[in-house]
């Protein structure tokens, strides 16, 4: 089951919206993290920088064969061997990772899904005790050049509520990630 489509733009345009290293520094993804999982790897915008930061393996999930192919090609070109790529319907079937098997879950620009709580519950399930879920999303403004329509775009308060419904404690206040995003960290306690 695909996430409600927000229209993935051309890759070079997409990547102009993000500074992955800065985002990770704000969302507590650092070299103390062993294993991680990324829900919706897309072009690998965050996959590759995260793989270079963490100590262990990064499980990258996407449903789109084209995105999987692009990511595998990039990983091969950059000789990155700690990413395990999974073409999977993680929305419908989960990640199939073991309970409490990763230290960090990346949920970037994905909580406009039909049932965001189910994604967060899956992240909670696979996270170890004190594991973290990093969330970013587009700010709630029609002035952004991209992003889901405002009728499905979550506000920070909604993401916080969904984190709490899923069992998480807040690991940060809302973090501004200019010009178009915000972030939040949830912690499994």
pLDDT digits (tens, 9 = 90+) for 63-91: 999 999 999 999 999 999 999 999 999 99
| CA dist list (Å): 88 to 108, 130, 168 | 17, 26, 25
What's residue 38's pLDDT?
98
What's the maximum distance between 2 C-alpha atoms anywhere in the chain? 41
Instruction: State residue 10's pLDDT score.
Output: 82
Residue 103: per-residue pLDDT: 98
Confidence bin at 20 (pLDDT 50/70/90): very high
Neighbours of 149 (CB within 10 A): 11
Tell whether the model's pLDDT for residue 3 goes beyond 90: no
Query: What digits encode the pLDDT tens for the residues 153-185?
Result: 999 999 999 999 999 999 999 999 999 999 999
pLDDT (0 to 100) of residue 13: 80
Residue of higher predicted confidence among 147 and 183:
183
CA-wise closest residue to 97 among 46, 35, 153, 180: 35
With beta carbons less than 8 A apart as the criterion, state whether 188 and 124 touch: yes
Per-residue confidence (pLDDT) for residue 6, from 0 to 100: 52
pLDDT of residue 11: 78
Q: What is the pLDDT of residue 125?
A: 98
CB 90 within 8 A of CB 63: yes
Give the mean model confidence (pLDDT) for residues 37-59: 97
Which residue from 20, 22, 65 is spatially nearest to 46, judged by alpha carbons? 20
Q: Which residues contact 137 (CB under 8 A, 6 or more apart)?
A: 108, 109, 111, 112, 147, 153, 154, 156, 159, 181, 182
pLDDT at 4 > cutoff 60: no
Domains and CATH numbers, the chain: 11-187 (3.40.50.150)
Specify the pLDDT at position 5. 57
Model confidence pLDDT, tens digit, residues 94-140:
999 999 999 999 999 999 999 999 999 999 999 999 999 999 999 99
pLDDT at 152 over 60: yes
The overall average pLDDT reported for the chain is 94
């Amino acid at each position: 089951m695909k996430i409600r489509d927000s229209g993935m733009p051309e890759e070079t345009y997409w990547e102009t919206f993000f500074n992955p290293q800065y985002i990770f520094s704000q969302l507590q993804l650092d070299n103390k993290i062993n294993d991680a999982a990324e829900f919706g790897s897309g072009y690998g915008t965050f996959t590759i920088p995260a793989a270079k930061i963490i100590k262990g393996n990064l499980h990258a999930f996407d449903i789109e064969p084209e995105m999987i192919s692009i990511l595998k090609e990039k990983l091969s070109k950059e000789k990155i061997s700690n990413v395990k790529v999974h073409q999977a319907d993680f929305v419908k079937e989960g990640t199939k990772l073991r309970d409490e098997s990763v230290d960090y879950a990346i949920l970037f620009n994905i909580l406009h899904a039909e049932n965001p709580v189910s994604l967060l519950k899956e992240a909670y399930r696979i996270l170890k005790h004190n594991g973290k879920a990093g969330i970013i999303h587009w700010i709630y403004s029609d002035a952004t050049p991209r992003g889901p329509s405002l009728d499905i775009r979550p506000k920070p308060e909604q993401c916080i509520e969904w984190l709490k419904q899923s069992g998480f404690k807040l690991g940060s206040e809302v973090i501004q990630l200019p010009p178009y995003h915000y972030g939040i960290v949830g912690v499994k306690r």
